[in-house]
Amino acid sequence: MTGEAEEENKRLSAAKVDWDASAPRSILFDDIYFSGDGAAESEHVFLKGNNLAARFSSVYVFSIGELGFGTGLNFLSAWKLWRETKKPEDARLRFFSVEGFPLGADDLARSHEAWPELAAYSAKLRAASPPRIPGVHRIELEDDVALTLHYGEAREALQRAEGGVDAWFFDGFSPAKNPAMWSPEIFAECARLSNPGATFATFTVAGDVRRAIASAGFTLEKRPGFGRKREMLCGRIDTPPASSRRAPWFQNAKPSRLQPGASLGVIGGGVAGASIAHAARRAGFKPTIIEEKGLAAGASGNPAGLIMPRLDLGGGPASRFFLHSYLYTIRLLNEIGGDWFSPCGVLLRAENDEARARQKRLLDDALLPPDWMAAREDGLFFPQGGVVDAPAYVAALAGDAQFIHASVVSISPDEDGVTVRMNDGAAHHFDALVIANSIDASRILEARALPLSAIAGQIDWFPDETPPAHAIAFGPYAAPAPRGGLVIGATYEKITQGAAAQTSLAATQSNIEAVSGILPGLDANNARPRASLRCQTPDRIPIAGPLPDLCFFAPSYDDLRLGKQRAYPPAEVVPRTHILSGLGSRGLVTAPLAAAMILTEMTGEPSPADHEIAEALHPARFFIRDYKRAQHIRKK
Ligand code: SAM
């Protein structure tokens, strides 16, 4: 099965379910998803096998990992148990599962219909289920419950996964029918992803399976099985191997695991800072936004911002990040969106043969399924996309975060937290800090070496103009503003470091000229221009992650300049300090997922992105590239 699953990696095959049997049966694997009384089996084998009722009652964050999401019945049972258990305030349940052949919504509904007590959970799950696209889908189902689905071949998905698991459900069909899900390599990855003391449970006691699980370091214990099965298997791992799959310079030698209730300082009140505040509340943290100018004063303050995907061919980590950030933000908007989000759809117009050929390749590669990306004569249409009133979006993300109206002068990070000093003389202490203030990050000593640059941009709003029914983008764009009127944009102009963006008539005329082919006759006198700065990086990929400690980097990785292959130590980073910046003109779409990645890195729970994406966005990448480039220059 593995080979077939790998071939389908561009776009996953759907499950094929036979409903004639007494229980849903996979035609591909010739095996049942669960036995007749699936919910009772799930409770006996997986919930009781991992002693979840007792463990839920005393934890702050509990992460379950599963091999084979299937119908999601195990997940629903665990979620229901979580809801019914009395727990510490702010406790969080995380459920991480891998699936190579996702079931459609109808099959999910049919699989769950025998259990009315699960109906409400099932409905929520189906409403939030992601499209069948490979990669990591993080679904926030309730304030305290998040599901992280890795769609793809199990071994590859586990190899890319990050974050600790407290209890495993090994549920990948019978080992005789599907040995690929029970191999020593699979369990070695599970051991790597385990927190100390993690347990597992499974329905099988097959000899090969016992040996494979034991070889990964788990202890084994046989218990009475469910129904007609005499035995099942449980076990635990007290000292999991500490082996990250990241390159050493992208690891964190001393991660601090923060718990719900932690205070988080967030420097910056744009979409980056507000997204961090939103992700922080979901993690149970208490965020405080520090911003002198108020929310959405910069580039996040435009009256219309496009919500559309950036689609890159090739399937590399950056393209996976951009694609999944779009899916994540659409889910988020469906959950929190108000009248400030207009899901009017976005047309990516193909203006010439080159653009048409590229769009054809995107369709051939099936980056998005047809109901998410429709081919039209004039381009590609994204029906779920749309336009946000950016300040209202930022305010919704910021929610009830505390606010400090001041400008940061300096930060003092240490192992216990970060003290932030303000221009008004005040100092505040937080358990952790995220620098999310766009180009102004360069004013903070610890972030100064990052290669951030500013680009000025102007948009023009025509409040009385009738806009097109949906947004149209082709480099320039024209969009219906959610509060009425038409917005066109945007210019890109180099600007000297430290200068403020200024509106100009020339920029308005340039915006009008750029859209004149689709919207002729706009009058510059009716325009309300707005100029702001966007912050970008040399590789046009955002920066999200812990700030590298350059005093450690230079001596520790200097041998990279000489091309030396040796065991390099894991990186030391500025304690408890992360950065989210360099979002360019796509921050409205990319900030929420990048923020969720940062928060899970702080808590150690399963990440909403794979480790290659984390490396692609890691702040240290520029320094490591410089070291390696020096090596090539030396060789010339
Ligand atoms: N836990 C599920 C539930 O609650 O309904 C049942 C899981 S079912 C027994 C096994 C699942 O593993 C199937 O959905 C199947 O598609 C998936 N699977 C099997 N082999 C796989 C592989 N190599 N990679 C990814 N998923 C796989």
Distance CA 363, CA 373 (A): 8
- What average pLDDT score do residues 360-368 get? 92
170 CA from centroid of ligand 1 (Å):
9
Distance CA 587, CA 585 (A): 6
- pLDDT band at residue 636 under the 50/70/90 scheme: low
Pick from 4, 37, 99, 183 the residue to mutate for probing ligand 1's pocket: most ligand atoms within 8 Å of its CB: 99
Q: Residue of the nearest CA to atom 25 in ligand 1?
A: 100
Q: What is the pLDDT of residues 174-233, one digit of tens each?
A: 999 999 999 999 999 999 999 999 999 999 999 999 999 999 999 999 999 999 899 999
Q: What is the pLDDT of residues 375-401, one digit of tens each?
A: 999 999 999 999 999 999 999 999 999
The closest-lying atom of ligand 1 relative to the alpha carbon of residue 28 is 16
Confidence at residue 1, expressed as pLDDT on a 0 to 100 scale: 38
Q: Count how many Cα atoms sit within 13 Å of the Cα of residue 12 in the half-sphere of its side chain.
A: 24
Confidence at residue 634, expressed as pLDDT on a 0 to 100 scale: 57
3-state secondary structure of 557: helix
The closest-lying atom of ligand 1 relative to the alpha carbon of residue 66 is 1
- pLDDT band at residue 633 under the 50/70/90 scheme: low
33 CA from centroid of ligand 1 (Å):
8
70 CA from centroid of ligand 1 (Å):
5
Distance CA 447, CA 570 (A): 20
Distance CA 600, CA 140 (A): 13
Kindly tell me if the per-residue pLDDT of 436 is higher than 50: yes
Q: What share of the chain has pLDDT > 90, as a percent?
A: 89
> By CB neighbour count within 10 A (0-12 exposed, 13-18 middle, 19+ buried), where does 146 fall?
buried
- C-alpha 248: how far from chain center: 22
597 CA from centroid of ligand 1 (Å):
26
68 CA from centroid of ligand 1 (Å):
3
Q: What is the pLDDT of residues 538-590, one digit of tens each?
A: 999 999 999 999 999 989 999 998 888 899 999 999 999 999 999 999 999 99
Confidence at residue 256, expressed as pLDDT on a 0 to 100 scale: 85
User: How crowded is residue 227: how many other Cβ atoms within 10 Å of its Cβ?
Assistant: 12
The closest-lying atom of ligand 1 relative to the alpha carbon of residue 75 is 4
Q: What global pTM score does this model have? A: 0.96
Tokens of 602: 């702080």
Kindly tell me if the per-residue pLDDT of 334 is higher than 50: yes
223 CA from centroid of ligand 1 (Å):
23
67 CA from centroid of ligand 1 (Å):
7
Q: What is the pLDDT of residues 225-236, one digit of tens each?
A: 999 899 999 999
Q: What is the pLDDT of residues 273-295, one digit of tens each?
A: 999 999 999 999 999 999 998 89
Pick from 12, 13, 29 the residue to mutate for probing ligand 1's pocket: most ligand atoms within 8 Å of its CB: 29
The closest-lying atom of ligand 1 relative to the alpha carbon of residue 31 is 9
492 CA from centroid of ligand 1 (Å):
48
Mark residue 568 as left, alpha or beta (left: phi above 0; alpha: psi -120 to 50; beta: remaining).
beta
Q: What is the pLDDT of residues 523-552, one digit of tens each?
A: 999 999 999 999 999 999 999 999 999 999
Partnered with residue 380 across adjacent β-strands are 348, 375
- pLDDT band at residue 133 under the 50/70/90 scheme: very high
3-state secondary structure 447-500: HCCCCCEEEEEEEEEECCCCCCCCEEECCCEEEECCCCCEEEECCCEECCCCCC
The closest-lying atom of ligand 1 relative to the alpha carbon of residue 178 is 20
Q: Residue of the nearest CA to atom 27 in ligand 1?
A: 100
The closest-lying atom of ligand 1 relative to the alpha carbon of residue 73 is 4
Confidence at residue 631, expressed as pLDDT on a 0 to 100 scale: 67
CB 394 within 8 A of CB 400: no
Tokens of 132: 């069948």
Q: Residue of the nearest CA to atom 1 in ligand 1?
A: 69
Name, in order, each residue with C-beta under 8 angstroms of 498's C-beta and a sequence gap of 6 or more. Answer: none
Name, in order, each residue with C-beta under 8 angstroms of 342's C-beta and a sequence gap of 6 or more. Answer: 386, 387, 388, 480, 482
Name, in order, each residue with C-beta under 8 angstroms of 599's C-beta and a sequence gap of 6 or more. Answer: 276, 279, 280, 282, 283, 285
161 CA from centroid of ligand 1 (Å):
17
- pLDDT band at residue 8 under the 50/70/90 scheme: very low
> By CB neighbour count within 10 A (0-12 exposed, 13-18 middle, 19+ buried), where does 327 fall?
buried
Tokens of 616: 């692609």
Element (H, E) at 396: helix 390-398
Q: Residue of the nearest CA to atom 19 in ligand 1?
A: 172
- Residues composing the chain: 636
Give the strand pairing for 471-473 and 402-404.
unpaired
Mean pLDDT of the chain: 94
CB 376 within 8 A of CB 385: no
The closest-lying atom of ligand 1 relative to the alpha carbon of residue 111 is 5
Could you tell me how many helices (H) and strands (E) the chain has, helices first?
Answer: 18, 32
Dihedral, CA atoms, 344, 345, 351, 357, nearest 10 degrees?
A: -170
Q: Count how many Cα atoms sit within 13 Å of the Cα of residue 484 in the half-sphere of its side chain.
A: 2
Q: Residue of the nearest CA to atom 12 in ligand 1?
A: 68
Kindly tell me if the per-residue pLDDT of 12 is higher than 90: no
181 CA from centroid of ligand 1 (Å):
8
Closest C-alpha to 309, from 322, 300, 320:
322
- pLDDT band at residue 477 under the 50/70/90 scheme: very high
Q: What is the pLDDT of residues 62-101, one digit of tens each?
A: 999 999 999 999 999 999 999 999 999 899 999 999 999 9
Task: Please list every protein residue whose CB sits less than 6 Å from any atom of ligand 1.
Answer: 1-2, 5, 15, 33-34, 66, 68-74, 98-101, 153-154, 171-173, 178, 180-181
Pick from 28, 41, 69 the residue to mutate for probing ligand 1's pocket: most ligand atoms within 8 Å of its CB: 69
151 CA from centroid of ligand 1 (Å):
11
Pick from 33, 108, 174, 203 the residue to mutate for probing ligand 1's pocket: most ligand atoms within 8 Å of its CB: 33
Distance CA 139, CA 234 (A): 28
Backbone dihedral angles phi then psi of residue 582, each to the nearest 5 degrees: 65, 35
Confidence at residue 96, expressed as pLDDT on a 0 to 100 scale: 98
